[in-house]
């Protein structure tokens, strides 16, 4: 079994303090919930149309969050090798069972391949000085999505987990593809009694991205335990336009300290 270093419970606690948008204890489906809830509080009792719109958005994000919580619960079952439960999955939902097995098996393969590659940095190199990397919020970003993403990285850096990974990072795009597919499958499966809501939630989920909570280039693992759904713009800006561009010139294994900036 792969040794997954990221502490999701601590990440969730840190994100709650910073953005007050905590999801569930196994962390979140994304950083949207607080933003939606705040808008709902502002309009409740003032404008019936705005109230209905905000409530609908909150309901949709709850559907996505709950589906992702279920997805991780199913994947933990697969990880633990509970054969009777896996058998039930195959009997009741063969498509889901196949996706779960593929996601987990491919994730484990990725981690094993990384650990077996002696030419790759396997963690922060204590002989190299740490480099502080600022992560900046932009007005175009959802504030709570940014808070969750940035604080996840900052928490990992405080635990000494982030470093400049060896390029080219090991990435199996089929993991994120099937992760998203399984999530949308669960959205429909969990909301059969409300197909209209399920479709709206699935449409929103289609526009989101499975985010590596700790980015691969910062030492995160290409494993389902390191995936959560996130708003697309924040994911790309923080991970690619900011983090990667700043650590790209660094030597492999350089320890990274994340500094979150709001102004």
Both ends of the chain: CA-CA distance in Å? Answer: 42
* Range in 49-63, 94-108, 200-214 with the lowest mean pLDDT: 49-63
Q: Determine how many CB atoms are found less than 10 A away from the CB of residue 71.
A: 25
Q: 227 pairs with which residues across the strands?
A: 212
Q: Where do the structural domains in the chain lie, given as residue ranges? A: 8-261
pLDDT in tens, 1-53: 444 444 444 544 444 444 443 333 334 444 444 554 555 455 445 554 555 55
pLDDT at 223 over 70: yes
pLDDT band at 74 (very low <50, low <70, confident <90, very high): very high
For residue 56, what pLDDT is reported? 74
User: What is this structure's pTM?
Assistant: 0.77
**What distance in Å separates the CA atoms of residue 131 and residue 259, rounded to the nearest whole number?**
10
* Nearest alpha carbon to residue 197 among 30, 26, 88, 63: 63
The vertex-222 CA angle with 20 and 98, nearest 5°, equals 100
What six digits make up the tokens of 119? 């030419």
* Range in 79-93, 142-156, 171-185, 202-216 with the lowest mean pLDDT: 79-93
pLDDT in tens, 118-164: 999 999 999 999 999 999 999 888 888 899 899 899 999 999 999 99
């Amino acid at each position: 079994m792969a040794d997954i270093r990221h502490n999701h419970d601590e990440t969730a606690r840190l994100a709650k303090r910073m953005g007050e948008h905590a999801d569930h204890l196994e962390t979140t489906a994304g950083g949207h919930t607080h933003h939606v809830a705040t808008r709902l509080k502002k309009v409740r009792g003032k404008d019936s149309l705005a109230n209905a719109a905000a409530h609908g958005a909150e309901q949709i994000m709850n559907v996505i969050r709950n589906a992702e919580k279920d997805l991780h619960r199913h994947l933990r079952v697969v990880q633990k090798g509970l054969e009777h439960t896996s058998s039930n999955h195959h009997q009741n939902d063969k498509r889901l069972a196949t996706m779960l097995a593929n996601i987990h098996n491919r994730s484990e393969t990725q981690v094993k391949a990384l650990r077996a590659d002696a030419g790759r940095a396997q963690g922060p190199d204590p002989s190299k000085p740490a480099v502080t990397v600022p992560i900046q919020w932009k007005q175009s970003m959802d504030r709570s999505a940014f808070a969750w993403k940035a604080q996840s990285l900052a928490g990992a850096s405080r635990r000494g987990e982030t470093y400049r990974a060896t390029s080219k990072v090991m990435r199996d795009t089929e993991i994120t593809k099937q992760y998203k597919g399984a999530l949308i499958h669960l959205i429909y499966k969990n909301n059969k009694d409300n197909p209209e809501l399920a479709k709206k939630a699935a449409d929103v989920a289609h526009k989101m991205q499975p985010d590596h909570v700790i980015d691969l280039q910062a030492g995160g693992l290409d494993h389902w335990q390191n995936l959560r759904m996130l708003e697309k713009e924040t994911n790309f800006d923080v991970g690619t336009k900011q983090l990667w561009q700043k650590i790209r010139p660094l030597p492999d294994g350089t320890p990274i300290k994340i500094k979150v900036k709001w102004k």
